[in-house]
Amino acid sequence: MFYPPKSTEVIYHPPKSSSFGHSATSRNPRKGWTQTKHFLETVTNYSLRDSVKLNIHCYPKWSDPILIEKCTMDAIEIFGPANKRTGELSNTWHVPLTRIDEAIEFAMQDIDRPIQEIGPTRLHFCFDLTWKQHQSLSNVTDPGLGSHIGITLGGRRLFIQPTLRFPFQEVNRDLLDYLAYVQCHLPFKFRENCFKLFHPTKDGKSGIGRKLGPGWLAI
């Protein structure tokens, strides 16, 4: 859900050129997922959106149809028939929230499956979050409201698409201290050019962002 900014705030959102996200710092998706859970549990109040999707698609040029068929049969055995089927070897499951751990483990098994250029699995889910109370966030109600991180897991990779909102109206020591605290727990490294200072529009329905000058994060 989009929450228009009520006042000026700092927003972290990677650009389209990087698919709106970053790979996890660890190349091992199990370790990357452990780091992501640590971030969520330590720094945020979070909830899983009801939109967990598992995809198994066959790309003839980049994936083995025999492997895709086996993955599909394994998924049917665990999650039942696919909710959407495109052709013989492209399937999508809408996974209940109560079975998210099973879906994550299923996608993690790509580590043990033969390497494919794409896939064979793709699991996508998203967490909405606010920040837990911190000394830098004193007197702020629901700090970070509207923040979320999307997770794509599969093909031996964990990809993270963050939109993180920080209730600071300018670059100051409190902001820098808080970003340093968050960075200690993040499963990826902040990139300076992904931050913007966001101002609400006059009608209050949207916001206008501008990039911060180079070097500000190292002040």
Question: Among 65, 50, 40, 21, which residue's Cα sits nearest to residue 157?
Answer: 21
DSSP-assigned letter for residue 83? S
Please give the tally of structural domains in the chain.
Answer: 1
pLDDT at position 202 is 74
Domain carrying residue 14: 9-218
Given a contact cutoff of 8 angstroms between Cβ atoms, the answer to whether 181 and 161 are in contact is no
Provide the pairing of β-strand 121-131 with 147-154.
antiparallel
Question: Among 147, 106, 126, which residue's Cα sits nearest to residue 11?
Answer: 147
2 falls within a domain: no
193 falls within a domain: yes
195 falls within a domain: yes
Tokens 């911190």 belong to which residue? 134
81 falls within a domain: yes
Assign 195 to helix, strand or coil.
strand
pLDDT at position 166 is 95
98 falls within a domain: yes
Q: What is the pLDDT along the chain (219 residues), one digit of tens a residue?
A: 556 667 789 999 998 988 899 999 999 999 999 999 999 999 999 999 999 999 998 777 777 888 888 999 999 999 999 998 776 668 999 999 999 999 999 999 999 888 887 778 999 999 999 999 888 887 777 788 889 999 999 999 999 999 999 999 888 999 999 999 999 999 999 999 999 998 877 776 677 778 888 888 875
Pairwise CA distance, residues 26 & 18, whole Å: 18
β-bridge partners, 209: 198
pLDDT at position 101 is 97
42 falls within a domain: yes
DSSP-assigned letter for residue 115? P
3 falls within a domain: no
pLDDT at position 26 is 92
pLDDT at position 162 is 97
Assign 208 to helix, strand or coil.
strand
Assign 57 to helix, strand or coil.
coil
pLDDT at position 1 is 52
1 falls within a domain: no
Pairwise CA distance, residues 99 & 103, whole Å: 6
Provide the whole-model pTM: 0.89
Assign 143 to helix, strand or coil.
coil
